[in-house]
Amino acid sequence: MAIHPTALIGAAASIDPSAEIGAFTVVHDNVEIGARCVVGSHCELGVASDLGDGSPLVVGADALIRSHSVFYAGSSFGEGLVTGHRVTVREGTRAGLNFQIGTLGDIQGHCAIGDYVRFHSNVHVGQHTVIEDFVWVFPYVVFTNDPHPPSDVQQGVTVKRFAAVATMSTVLPGVTIGEGALVGACSAVTRDVGDHRIVSGNPASDKGPTSLVKLRDGSGRAAYPWPAHFHRGYPAEVVAEWLAAV
């Protein structure tokens, strides 16, 4: 077990012998870290809070958690988690396989995240958000949950599989983004978005089907559905399944 000598590890923490823990990182007691995980420097894992249910932080095998990240107890991640730097994840977050969270990501907890979901930098996820498999979320996107802030009413956002939400967009409480839909950059999404539709603007309005967008690579191919051409970082068997379905 490659635990840096300056790291502080709780006596009750369960860390696989093949995992690595970086310098000046704090791992509290209520943590389970799987095989071959790599945790960077200056992290804090397994923070306790009154909002947790007593369950541990569970990090599946082969995770890479970059420096200065903070994870609370009471969340779980499937195999292959990858984070940028300075990520914050609160309690009650349930994520599937190979979740990627970019630098400065801020997950407020009590949310459900599918398999192979990718968040670019600085994504903010309010409580009660539901994100299905293969979704992409780009920098500075915010998923809100309070329809008339401040209040005790919480209506999470739902993003269906293969949807992409582009940079600096905000999705208002209770909205559902349809399967394979595209939210253009800088949009304020106030209403549900249909499957394979493009919306953009503030407030966002429908701009037609995603099939309208062509790849700017000179090929003349359609840019959406993106699984037809974009495979970087996905396992071969996942890509094969996509291509069989297209």
Under the rule (CB under 8 A), what is the footprint of a copy of itself?
6, 8, 23-24, 26, 40-42, 44, 47, 67-68, 70, 84-86, 88, 103-104, 106, 108, 118, 121-122, 124, 136, 138-140, 142, 144, 146-153, 155, 164, 166-168, 170, 172, 185-186, 188, 201-202, 213, 215-217, 223-224, 226, 229-230, 232
> Between 34 and 109, whose beta carbon lies closer to a copy of itself?
109
Smallest distance, a copy of itself to C-beta of residue 79, A: 20
Residue 24: which of 10, 6, 38, 40 has the closest Cα?
Answer: 6
Cβ burial, residue 80 (10 Å; 0-12/13-18/19+): buried
Q: Which is nearer to a copy of itself, 104 or 111 (CB)?
A: 104
24: nearest Cα among 40, 46, 48, 1:
40
Name the residue nearer to a copy of itself (CB basis): 78 or 108.
108
Least separation in angstroms between CB 95 and a copy of itself: 18
First to last CA, the chain: 44
Query: CB 105 → a copy of itself: shortest distance, Å?
Result: 10
Burial classification of residue 20, based on how many CB atoms lie within 10 Å of its CB (0-12 exposed, 13-18 middle, 19 or more buried): middle
- φ, ψ of residue 95 to 5 degrees: the values are -120, 150
Q: C-beta of 55: minimal distance to a copy of itself in Å? A: 21
Place of tokens 């970087």: 232
Our CA angle for 115, 213, 230, nearest 5°, is: 35
Smallest gap from residue 200 Cβ to a copy of itself (A): 9
